[in-house]
Amino acid sequence: MKIRIGIYGYGNLGKGIENAIRQNSDMELVAVFTRRDPTQLRIATKGAAVCHVSEAEHFVGRIDVMILCGGSATDLPEQTPALAKLFCVVDSFDTHARIPEHLARVDAAARAAGTTAMISVGWDPGMFSLNRFYAGAILPNGKDYTFWGKGVSQGHSDAIRRIEGVLDAKQYTVPVEEAMNAVRSGTEPVLTTRQKHTRECYVVAAEGADLARIEREIKEMPNYFADYDTTVHFISAEELKHDHSGIPHGGVVIRSGKTGAALEHRHVIEYSLKLDSNPEFTASVIVAFARATHRMHTEGTVGCKTVLDVPPAYLSPRSAEELIRELL
């Protein structure tokens, strides 16, 4: 029997989940839930229902894992605990500082209902967390570095769009090659925020807008840009659409550490991602962990878990024998 999946929220991530399910023959999409008018929503999967979010509870017993595709700012803090009362759930909650609090609330809901929840699944948090973790457990005497990009930051792009006179914008976070190479040398350099990343902004301004002011407002914006070397390019709406419509991202997690009687040997562990589509890759990670969530649930696990709790073998539909023979 296939693992029956529900998608709760049908933006870029929800569409990515739908595509990912089609690459995993042990899964099927049962229904997509939307806050919009369901009659206006077209999905790609034949046979799957499209429902209003208010109908979700009627799917208890018909969905094994509900995948929550809302945003971390306001959607998931409410949705994940609420849905965990009804279903096994997986989310991609990515506000790092608030993960412990989110976990506690989801755990309470899941334990009360006897469901299994998995939060903060994706690549950061997610695969990057796992790699920071494995590397730290192997090389306790060492130092971690994470670089992001080159990729589109939605939050920074939105911040630019809020400036008066800006019609549209796209912001790329770019890791500094020299800083990455210094880390790769194993010398454990101390790096400032400015030394690690630069920010490139592509901005469409309204006709007659004061470009110098816009550029200054971007570059001086606290938290978002003030601590970085920022470049601003004014381009046309056509150029933005033609050259910057993708959602690429990626990054690198590096740990260097020392071993030996006199700590004389250096080792460098590096994990890197180059992604054409951030939401589609995130969706691919989530779908694998949805499989694991279902398996852990069928084995009796209850409560809220993270990627650190999942035996890797649970992510695959393949048998243990096959995995050992082909991958070990």
- On whether the CB atoms of residues 196 and 176 are closer than 8 A, the answer is yes
The encoded tokens of residue 63 equal: 């969905």
- On whether the CB atoms of residues 220 and 190 are closer than 8 A, the answer is no
**Does residue number 116 form part of the binding site for its own copies (CB under 8 A)?**
no
What mask of x and - would describe binding to its own copies in positions 230 to 259, judged by CB under 8 A?
A: -----------------------------x
Q: Which stretch binds its own copies (CB under 8 A): 156-164, 175-183, 193-201, 263-271?
A: 263-271
Which residue among 53, 113, 133, 191 contacts its own copies (CB under 8 A)?
133
Taking the least distance from each CB to its own copies, the nearer of 161 and 258 is 258
Task: Report the amino acid identity of residue 234.
Answer: F
**Does residue number 118 form part of the binding site for its own copies (CB under 8 A)?**
no
Neighbours of 308 (CB within 10 A): 10
Taking the least distance from each CB to its own copies, the nearer of 205 and 285 is 285
> How many chain residues interact with its own copies (CB under 8 A)?
67
Taking the least distance from each CB to its own copies, the nearer of 160 and 247 is 247
- On whether the CB atoms of residues 294 and 177 are closer than 8 A, the answer is no
Closest to 122 measured CA to CA, from 62, 60, 57, 72: 72
As measured in angstroms, the least distance from the Cβ of 61 to its own copies is 27
Neighbours of 149 (CB within 10 A): 20
As measured in angstroms, the least distance from the Cβ of 13 to its own copies is 12
Burial class (CB in 10 A: 0-12, 13-18, 19+), 206: exposed
**Does residue number 1 form part of the binding site for its own copies (CB under 8 A)?**
no
- On whether the CB atoms of residues 282 and 13 are closer than 8 A, the answer is yes
Taking the least distance from each CB to its own copies, the nearer of 219 and 266 is 266
Cα dihedral 209, 212, 218, 220 sign: negative
Site residues (vs its own copies, CB under 8 A): 16, 19-20, 23-24, 44, 96, 99-100, 103, 120, 125, 127, 129-134, 136-141, 184, 186, 259-261, 264-277, 280-281, 283-285, 288, 306-313, 315-316, 320-321, 323-325, 327-328
